[in-house]
Amino acid sequence: MNSSAAAPFAPHHLAPGPDDATTARLLAGWYATGRPATLADHLERHGPPPVTAAVDSRTSPPLVEAVEAAGLTGRGGAGFPTARKLRAVAGRRGRAVVVVNAMESEPASRKDWFLLAVAPHLVLDGAVLAAAVACADTVHVCLPRDRSDQYRRLGAALDERRRARVDPVRLCLHALPHAYVSSESTSLVRWLNGGPTRPQGSPPRTHERGVARRPTLVHNAETLAHLALIARHGPDWFRQAGTPDEPGTALVTVSGAVTAPGVLEVALGTPLATVLDRAGGPAEPLRAVLLGGFAGTWLPRAHTHTPLTRRDLAPLGAAPGAGVLVALPRTACGLTETARMLAYLAAHSARQCGPCRLGLPAVAEDFTALAAGRADPDLLSRLHRRTGLLPGRGACHHPDGAARLAASALRAFADDVDRHLTHGGCPAAHRP
């Protein structure tokens, strides 16, 4: 997305890091060859997708059991158990629909873009397997409209599959309007039903009645790629990486003040500092890191030893989110960067309820005043009060992420807050 807020956090390039045999799974082919996988490359490396073995109508589908044993959780940000979503749709009556969410509206993330560029058939295999489990006859693949090259490449991959007749279901490619809230699952369903790409806050849930009023399974692109590998290699193989509680690998977009920003595949449980080192290490001394992107959490540099797991990050008020890690240099002003992101979030809200239309712009305006050193005596207490009121009150979770970002900045940059309140904005606040 083109915005002043996004610019400081966009990776300079998207090459993967050095090969690590213990974690190279989704990106194994790319690490081995350095080129995107054609369908022939994919089938030679992985073999055909085991669609027939994925379903047994007499019992719980074997693939669902394997995914549950593997402990796979969604890689789109929420971390919801994948097997539970599969069961929710598979248990409904009637033909279902599968939606591949590759919108990636987080400005600091490029992981799904990169995965689809180098291993598109893993994602498509996972979508077809999910369709088999859910008794779906159609898969909708949703991409952002402003990534025309990605649309063209994925269209070519779909053509390869049609010519080879490898898929028992229909795969449809769509280019959607690209906005921050367009990657929310109900936004995709709403657009596919002819509406705007904005979240649908009211029931029914998508697994009950989604696209064309049919049960609908929405999964992130990376999640489906992991599912395709579990179907082939089993849960024990999947658990060889990661931690016992949070197994597997995850794609992480590393950017900011690192020597070699890019998309990496790392085992869950890897310390954040190690992830930064795999991106070439800090290019200059760091002040903090942003974990999770614009709806994420600022963590002071002292917390970079923390493992990349929900369990270890939870006491810090953080989570892996959609796999974004941004390194903030000591020379930058964290309050200024946060103010830019909050202004972006306020401008890209769904504008369907009070927290988005009124609360979020108010927080963004106060943060802008704080960063510029124009704070009034009541500003800090007002910010704390407003960030506490936003979560859980919106029609979607957009205000929750903005409140989390703002609150974490007030904690992580507490010393800067005091200086800005008493002495005005710091020199770094005025840099473009």
For residues 412 and 196, the model is more confident at 412
Strand order in the sheet with 170-176: 170-176, 136-144, 96-101, 216-220
Confidence of residue 396 (pLDDT cuts 50, 70, 90): low
- SS3 state of residue 25: coil
Mean pLDDT of all residues in the chain? 86
Note the pLDDT of residue 155: 96
pLDDT class of 56 with cuts at 50, 70, 90: low
Task: Kindly tell me if the per-residue pLDDT of 3 is higher than 60.
Answer: no
Q: Flag the least confident range among 14-28, 58-72, 387-401.
A: 14-28
Question: Identity (one letter) of the amino acid at 250?
Answer: A
For residue 292, give both structure tokens. Answer: 């999770």
Sketch out the chain's domains with CATH numbers.
24-238 (3.40.50.11540), 249-329 (3.10.20.600), 334-430 (1.20.1440.230)
Q: Is the pLDDT of residue 400 over 60?
A: yes
Question: Residue 11: pLDDT above 50?
Answer: no
Per-residue model confidence as pLDDT tens digits over 166-199: 999 999 999 998 888 878 888 899 999 998 887 8
Q: Report CA 301 to chain centroid distance, whole Å.
A: 23
Question: Taking residues 364-390, what's their average pLDDT?
Answer: 86
Tell me, rounded to whole angstroms, the distance of Cα 23 from its chain centroid. 19
How far is Cα 369 from Cα 272, in angstroms, rounded to an integer? 32
How high is the pLDDT of residue 8? 39
**pLDDT digit string (tens) for 304-360?**
999 999 999 999 999 998 899 999 999 999 999 999 999 999 888 767 666 667 778
pLDDT of residue 175: 94
Phi, psi at 201, each rounded to 5°: -75, -25
**pLDDT of amino acid 186:** 86
pLDDT 10s digits, 248-260: 999 999 999 999 9
Q: Which two tokens stand for residue 324?
A: 């974004």
Query: For 315-399, where are the E strands, in sequence order?
Result: 324-329
pLDDT band (50, 70, 90) for residue 224: very high
